[in-house]
Amino acid sequence: MADIQLQLYDNNLASPTLVEPDITEYTDLVFSTKLHGGFAWCSFRLAQGVALNYDWAFKRLGYRLVILDLVYDRILWEGRLQGSVFSPDAVIINAYGYYASMLDDVYTTAYNDTPDAVIKSMLTAKCPAISNDHTGIQAMDAKRDSFASEYLLDRSPQELTEYLLSLSDSKKQKWYFAVWEGRKPYLFQRDDSVVTWKVKLEDLQAFELTSGFENLWNAAYAVYRDPQGVLQRTSVITDDISIARYGIQRTYCIPDLGQVSQSEAEAVRDAWIEEHRDVISCNSDIQLGPAVYDASGIEHPSSHVRAGDVIQIIDILPAVGDIDNPSRNGINTYYILETEYSRDHRTNRLTVDTENNSLDSIMSRNLKH
């Protein structure tokens, strides 16, 4: 396993000490990336005797783990140890990326500002494990007032970030937050216009698509509450091009958004139509083999593929010109939401942005205590 190196630092992020410069006796290494989040979770098994197993399980919680690709001089994963399964024979190490540190505290400061500004303030005040380099945080154009809704205060920075981004803005695009190398935070719009990786069907370990009307919605309205808590509804908007193309109108009711302004509710409604006006395959099973190829055709290990990348299968061509003009179509081009790389099998299982992900389930997940 000489191509991948595991290093362990202590929990002093300001002046770290390298505790384990080259962990070699591991097996069952799996690490993942995800949006929102960036580096998500990591797990591996160590069998180093009772004393060392005990140290890993109980004395090294919070230590910083870095996974390196030695050939490409690239960080594949970074996070902190958060819990392990101990036995005399072995210990199963579980680590999470620093996005998890945004659950360590609660944000209570009132605000009336754009989501990017609020997120910066939360990171500065409540997330010391995340870098104070905010140059990767893009600007959004909609303001959020914490007095307008009970959902916008007294929650962890992670919960608030996901809720703020679920409301979108005038750009009608999905926004994601991630913490990557150096614990640097990023806030960005989904961009599926540039292909990061290319593969052929023969490069895949698994590939299956399901298409249908399940996620097609070409008419929508949103339910929300005014400042007095009275239930309101936006007007219904339709996408006439989509209705004509498929010969059917499917109307979606975006469930109660809470106390938000009419313009905020309309922004959510508009973003919903933008996202669901075309038939896109769902329940996709895509698993990469050992290799992928960058835009220049240069081979890379599939461990380099991460959430936020765009991947294209070049020998599935739904229409002339799709290869040269990529977009997320759920057939041959995908925006990646999650990866799960297995070092033992040299495979990377992808979750792509074609999944059935209704807004009510998003809101329910975001607002959990």
Confidence of residue 86 (pLDDT cuts 50, 70, 90): confident
Residue 367 forms part of a structural domain: no
- Are residues 78 and 206 part of one domain? no
Residue 126 parent element (H or E): helix 115-126
Tell whether 172 and 114 lie within a shared domain: yes
For 297-354, how does the pLDDT look when each residue is reduced to its tens digit (9 = 90+)?
A: 999 999 999 999 999 998 876 554 444 555 556 678 888 999 999 999 999 999 887 6
User: Looking at residue 369, what is its pLDDT?
Assistant: 29
368 within a domain of the structure (yes/no)? no
Query: Is the domain of 117 the same as that of 206?
Result: no
Residue 11 is predicted with a pLDDT of 96
Number of domains in the chain: 4
| Cα gap 185→189, rounded to integer Å | 14
Residues 6+ apart with CB under 8 A from 178: 35, 36, 37, 38, 99, 185, 186, 188, 307, 308
Q: How many CB atoms lie within 10 A of CB 53?
A: 21
pLDDT at res. 2:
60
Q: Which residue has the tokens 């139509």?
A: 273
Which domain, by its residues, includes 26?
A: 4-96
